[in-house]
Each structure stands twice: as structure tokens, then as C-alpha cells.
Amino acid sequence: MGKYDAIKREINEAMLSQNQKEDIIIFDPAEEYGMLAQRLCGIITSKRGDNMTIKELCRSIGTESFEFRLGQFLDDFKHSDNRILLIKDEPEYVMDHDKEMCFIAGAVHKLCNDYKIEYPEWIFKREYYLDKRVYAFGSHDEDFHRYLRQTSPWEFSCRNYFVPDNTLQRV
């Protein structure tokens, strides 16, 4: 039995003990450990092969899995054959998370520009713009603020949200 088989068995047993019934679908051994660990942690809720929509991503705002799910959404978007379907429907607005909702709209706006696809109308609604400036990482450093104001992608800065220019890039 190989290393990945042992990991898969261990995580499957843990999932069964938590009464999780979904099958785990694995595509290649290099990806196996990460996929299984993420599913065990509840980060991936849809079966592999389904692309995460922006509405599904927004359901995780305010949870520990949001950043992981954002990465999954970006990967799904990049590899999707029909990207517009992943972003066209407006997500349910998450109250008390104005910054995150603004970030989501800015991200969709930038992805549309980067991939040259039609903008969904919802990203231009007033609630997806901030009244006061917000800087990435909650920074209070004025030099960093100046840098972000100069380099932040327009799709974010026009919303008063200032992020590094590589915010949506994946490794």
C-alpha cells in the first residue's frame, strides 16, 4: 500500500465517523493529499468536476475557509469552459462584511477584464463600493498605503479598496 492509499484510508475513516456520505473523487496522486485534507476540513463542498460559482464562494464569507475557497474559485474560473456562468448571478449580500463583498465585486470586475468577458450588472451596484478607503492586510503603514494606491488594480481602487497588483494571481 502506497503513501497516498494510507492517507486516503485515514481521511475516509475520519469522514465516515463524521457521517459525511459524499464520495471522494481523486484524479492524480500528487493532488490526492491536498484534496482529501481540504474535503475533510469542509473546504470543498461540491464534488470535483463542479465549478464553484461566486454565489457559493460568498456563502463562506466570515468563515475560516473563505481564503481557501477563494483560491478554489479562482482555479475553477481559470479552467472553466463557461466562465460567465460562474459569475453572472449576484451573490446574496453578506451583512457586516462590506469589505469582503466589495473585494468579491472587484475580483469579478478584474476577472472580466482579464478574460475579456461580459460584466455581470450586479458588480456596479452601490453596495459593492466603499465610502472610506480600505487597505489590504489591515495595514496602517502610510508608505504601504501610498504603494497600494499606485499599484492596486483599477477594478479594486475605484471601489476604495486597495490591494496588491497580484491579488488574484495563483502560484
Residues 87 and 167 in one domain: yes
Model confidence band, residue 25 (pLDDT cutoffs 50, 70, 90): very low
Residues 39 and 123 in one domain: no
Residues 19 and 84 in one domain: no
Judge contact between 58 and 94, C-beta under 8 A: yes
Residues 24 and 72 in one domain: no
Residues 89 and 171 in one domain: yes
Model confidence band, residue 9 (pLDDT cutoffs 50, 70, 90): low
Domain, as residue range, for 122? 51-171
3-state DSSP of the chain: CCHHHHHHHHHHHHHHHCCCCCCCCCCCHHHHHHHHHHHHCCCCCCCCCCCCCHHHHHCCCCCCCHHHHHHHHHHHHHHCCCHHHHHCCCCCCCCCCHHHHHHHHHHHHHHHHHHCCCCCHHHHCHHHCCCCCEEHHHCCCHHHHHHHHHHCCHHHHCCCEECCCCCCCCC
Residues 78 and 109 in one domain: yes
Q: Which of 137, 136, 129, 140 is nearest to 151 (CA)?
A: 136
pLDDT > 90: percent of the chain: 63
Residues 73 and 128 in one domain: yes
Residues 65 and 145 in one domain: yes
pLDDT by residue (tens digit) across 58-109? 999 988 888 899 999 999 999 999 999 999 999 999 999 999 999 999 999 9
Looking at per-residue confidence, does 138 or 13 come out higher? Answer: 138
Residues 99 and 36 in one domain: no
Residues 112 and 157 in one domain: yes
Residues 37 and 60 in one domain: no
